[in-house]
């Protein structure tokens, strides 16, 4: 638990971790083009989905209401999201890697729900609930992407 972090600081940390994960995913997809083209295609599509998610999050950080982004939480959950995620996603096939991203989604869903409970600011509650819903949708898209790859 950290003390006194703003909404912006928490979201910046999530965006940084998400950016690292997306960059690494793009790297893996590129390196598997020759050895596992089907996995590379699935991972490339997942990377594109995640890149759009990241750009939306970063867009909100740049264009969102400053008064909301500067709202402080007294206590925030640790936003480490399992620092060895990047090391763990490199091994395995596309299904294993999508599974790791599902774990990432689960962690974010929990963080957003926890943050919504830790504030009384209606705008922050609405934002955290919206982010939680977006993450649930991201998780569904990842699962559907993997299912589509299996069906090919």
**Which domains, from first to last, does the chain contain?**
2-151 (1.20.1260.10)
* pLDDT confidence of residue 109: 93
* pLDDT confidence of residue 21: 86
* pLDDT confidence of residue 2: 65
Cα separation, 92 vs 72, whole angstroms:
40
What are the angstrom distances between the C-alpha of 19 and each of 47, 54, 149?
Answer: 10, 7, 24
Q: What is the pLDDT along the chain (152 residues), one digit of tens a residue?
A: 667 889 999 999 999 988 988 998 899 999 999 998 998 999 999 999 999 999 999 999 999 999 999 999 987 777 655 555 555 666 678 888 888 888 888 889 999 999 999 999 999 999 999 999 999 999 999 888 878 777 76
DSSP of 35-90, one letter per residue?
Answer: T-HHHHHHHHHHHHHHHHHHHHHHHHHHHS-HHHHTPEEEEE------TTHHHHHT
* pLDDT confidence of residue 117: 93
92: left (phi over 0), alpha (psi -120 to 50) or beta: left
DSSP annotation of 4 reads: E
């Amino acid at each position: 638990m950290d003390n006194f972090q703003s909404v912006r600081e928490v979201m910046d940390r999530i965006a940084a971790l998400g950016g690292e994960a997306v960059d690494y995913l793009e790297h893996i997809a590129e390196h598997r083009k020759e050895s596992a083209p089907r996995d590379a295609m699935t991972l490339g599509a997942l990377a594109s989905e995640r890149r759009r998610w990241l750009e939306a999050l970063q867009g909100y950080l740049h264009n969102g209401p400053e008064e909301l982004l500067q709202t402080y939480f007294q206590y925030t959950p640790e936003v480490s999201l399992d620092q060895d995620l990047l090391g763990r996603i490199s091994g395995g096939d596309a299904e294993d890697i999508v599974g790791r991203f599902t774990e990432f989604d689960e962690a974010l869903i929990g963080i957003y729900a926890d943050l919504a409970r830790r504030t009384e600011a209606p705008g922050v509650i609405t934002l955290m609930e919206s982010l939680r819903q977006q993450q649930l949708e991201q998780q569904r898209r990842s699962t559907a992407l993997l299912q589509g790859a299996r069906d090919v």
